[in-house]
Amino acid sequence: MPTIQRLLTASGKTLLPGIMLCLFAISVFAARIEVSSDRNPVNLNESFKLVYESADAVDDDPDFTPLEAQLDILHRGQSSNVSIINGRYSSSKTWTLSVIARKPGKLTLPAIKFGADSSPALQISVQETPVDQQAQTGFYTRIEVDQQQVYAQQQLVITQQILSAQKLASYGMDKLNFNGMDVLIEPLGKVKQYQTQIADQSYHVIEQRYALFPQTSGLLKVQPVLVEARTGNGSGIFFDTFGNSRGKLLRAYSNELSVAVLPLPASINVNPWLPAKEFQLSEQWAQDPPQFIQGEPLTRTLSIKAEGLTAAQLPPLPDMSMDGLKQYPDQPLLNDVANDTGMTGYRVEKVALIPTRAGSMTLPAIEIAWWNTRTQMREIARIPARKVQVQAAAKATVVTTVTPAAAAPTAMAPLASATAPPELTPEIPASTAPTVLPDDLFSNWKWVAILLAVGWLLTLVGWLLVARRKRPAVAVQAQPARTGVEQHLKWFKASCTVKDVAGCRTHLLNWAKAFYPQQKMTSVSDLQPMLDARVAQEIRKLDAVLYGGQTVKIDFQLIVEQIARLHKAGHGAASKAPAELLEPLYR
C-alpha cells in the first residue's frame, strides 16, 4: 500500500502542470472579440450601430438572437479586412448591426456566441425623446381622445395621427393597446390624408379615427403606439403608395393616455343602459293621416336614431298588443353610420295593424328611457298616445267572406308587411255575421259548397295526371320560382301605390333576389348599375328616409315604371343557365 500511494503522489505532481498548460493553451487560442457602439448614450427613436470585430478566426457565425429582447435589428452587415505591413500579415472580420432600442433606460446587451467563442457584454444608455423634440425632427405621432372620462359602454372617440415634414414612401403603425381592458372598437371610415401648418412648418398628416366602447369600469390606459415610416424619393408626389424607394427609416412612439371609465350612475331608471349624445324616436304611417278601417291592414313604421350608439345596442320596441287590434311586426332593419364624430345607430321596425272591430280605440304611448351624455341627465324619448276611430267594414266585404274564395287573403298581402302571415284575413264581427239568412238558403249554400269542393278535387286529380304525362319534371319545378317573382313585383307596386317607403324597399329587394338569382343581391344599391341615373337617385332616397331621418320627396311612379320595364325586358332571365351570365366583379 505505501508503494501505491507514493506512485499516485508522483503522478499527481506530473499531471497538474500538464492540465494547467492545456488551459493556458485554450485561452491563448480563443478568439478575442471586441464590441462597441457608434455613440452612447442614444435617443429612444434613433437608430445606432453595434460593431463586433475580431482579429482572430472565430469558431462559428454569430447568433444575435439574444439582442432581440431589447433591440430591433434593422440591418445586418459583414466585412473582412486583410493587410500586409512590413511583411507582417494581419486580418480582421467585422459584423455591423443597425438597431433601435425598444425602451428607454440603461440596457445591458448580453454576450454574443460565435460558436465556442463569445463577445463581452455591453451597456447602453437610452434616453427618452420628448414629443417637442420629435416635432423638431419633422416626424412624430400622437393620439388624442374627445373625453377624459366616460361611462361604461359609452362611446369614446380616439384619433391617431402621423405627422411628417418629409415625403414618405410607406408607413405602418402598431395596433392600439388598452392594457387588457375589454373594449369594442370600430373604425370611423378610412384613413385620411391632408396638409396642416404647425409653427411655420408644413406637415402631411395621416389620420385614423376609432369609436371605442369600454365594457367595464376602471382606468383605461392607451399604451404608446409605435409608428415606422420610410422616406420617399425625389418624385413630385408626397406619398408614394407603391414604395419603390428605399429611403431613410423613421420611427416614433406616441404619447400615453388614460381615461376614467365610470360605473353606471346610481339610482337611475335606464334599463337597458343607453348612453347617447342624442336619441330620437319617431313614427311614420303609410297614409298621412292614417285611416283605420275594420279588417284592412295599415302599416306603421317606428324608427330609433341614436348618436353615440351602435344599432346592436338599441333595444326592440315594446309590445303594443291590445284588444281589437292585431299586430304583425316585420323583421327590424339595423344600420350603422360612421362619421368623424362617432357612430350613429338606426333601428327601423315596421308593423302591420289590422283592426278587428269598429269604433274608437287608443294606441298606447311608446316611451324609452336613455341617458344624455351631454347634460348627464336621464331623458325619455316618447311617441304620444293616439286616439283613432275605426270605420266599419263595407257590407260587400262581409258577404264575400261567406263564399269559399281561397284567394281572398292573398289579395290583401301586398298592402301588409313583407312577412305578414296568412292570418291577415279580416275577422267577421258578430254584429255583422249573416245569421239572418233563411234556413233553406243556408242549406242550398251548403250543398253548393260541397259540389264545388268535389269539382275542384276532380279537376286537381285530372290536372296532375295530364301534367305527369306531358310535362317534364323540370318545368313543374321552375313554375314556383317565376310565381314568386311575379308576387314580389305585385307587392312592390302595391307598396309604391300607398307610398310605403319601408315596404317598397323590402319588396324591391325581394324581387331583385328572385329575378337575378345568379347575382348576389344584398341591398337595393346592387340594382343601381342596371338603372337610369334618375331612378338610382330615387332609390337612394329610400335609405335616406329610413336611416337618415330625412324628409324628401320620392318619385314612386318613376321607380315602378323602370322596374316594370326591367321585368318585361328580362322576363325569363331567372331561368337562364348560369353560364350565360357574368359573375359580378365585386361580391
Q: What is the pLDDT of residues 267-317, one digit of tens each?
A: 888 889 999 999 999 999 988 788 899 888 889 999 999 999 999 999 998
Q: What is the per-residue pLDDT for 13?
A: 54
Secondary structure class of 188 (helix, strand, coil): coil
> Which residues, at least 6 apart from 344, have a Cβ–Cβ distance to it below 8 Å?
305, 306, 307, 308, 309, 336, 337, 338
> Which residues, at least 6 apart from 434, have a Cβ–Cβ distance to it below 8 Å?
398, 399, 402
Any bridge partners for residue 326, and if so which?
A: 354
Lowest mean pLDDT among 433-442, 527-536, 548-557: 433-442
Q: What is the per-residue pLDDT for 399?
A: 39
For the record, the C-alpha cell of 361 comes out as 280605440
Give CA–CA dist 284/296, Å, rounded: 18
Q: Are 261 and 217 in contact (CB under 8 A)?
A: yes
Q: What is the per-residue pLDDT for 475?
A: 36
Give CA–CA dist 278/308, Å, rounded: 7
Q: What is the per-residue pLDDT for 459?
A: 78
Assess whether pLDDT exceeds 80 at residue 336.
yes
Q: What is the per-residue pLDDT for 371?
A: 94
Of 233 and 517, which is predicted with more confidence? 517
Q: Which amino acid is at 550?
A: Q
Assess whether pLDDT exceeds 50 at residue 356.
yes
Q: Which pLDDT tens digit goes with each residue over 130-168?
A: 655 556 678 889 999 999 999 999 999 999 999 998 888
Residue 75 neighbours by CB distance under 10 Å: 11
CATH topology of 33-127 equal to that of 131-262?
yes
Residue 64 neighbours by CB distance under 10 Å: 17
Rg (CA), the chain: 40
> Which residues, at least 6 apart from 2, have a Cβ–Cβ distance to it below 8 Å?
none
Q: Which residues of 248-271 are buried (b: 16+ CB within 10 A; e: fewer)?
A: eebbbbbeebebebeeeeeeeebe
Arithmetic mean of pLDDT over the chain: 77
Q: What is the per-residue pLDDT for 477?
A: 38
Lowest mean pLDDT among 207-211, 263-267, 434-438, 460-464: 434-438
Q: What is the per-residue pLDDT for 16?
A: 54
Give CA–CA dist 52/34, Å, rounded: 6
Q: What is the per-residue pLDDT for 86?
A: 66
Q: What is the per-residue pLDDT for 132?
A: 58
Q: What is the per-residue pLDDT for 511?
A: 86
Q: Which pLDDT tens digit goes with each residue over 548-565?
A: 666 778 888 888 888 888
Q: Which CATH number fits domain 131-262: 2.60.40.740, 3.40.50.2300, 1.10.540.10, 1.10.150.120?
A: 2.60.40.740
pTM above 0.75, yes or no: no
Give CA–CA dist 315/295, Å, rounded: 30
Domain boundaries, the chain: 33-127, 131-262, 275-429, 436-463, 471-580
Lowest mean pLDDT among 342-346, 557-561, 565-569: 565-569
Q: Are 248 and 139 in contact (CB under 8 A)?
A: no
Q: Which pLDDT tens digit goes with each residue over 484-509?
A: 788 888 888 888 887 888 888 888 88
Q: What is the per-residue pLDDT for 10?
A: 52
Decide if domain 33-127 falls under CATH 1.10.3210. Answer: no
Burial (CB < 10 A; 0-12, 13-18, 19+), residue 178, is middle
For the record, the C-alpha cell of 248 comes out as 431613410
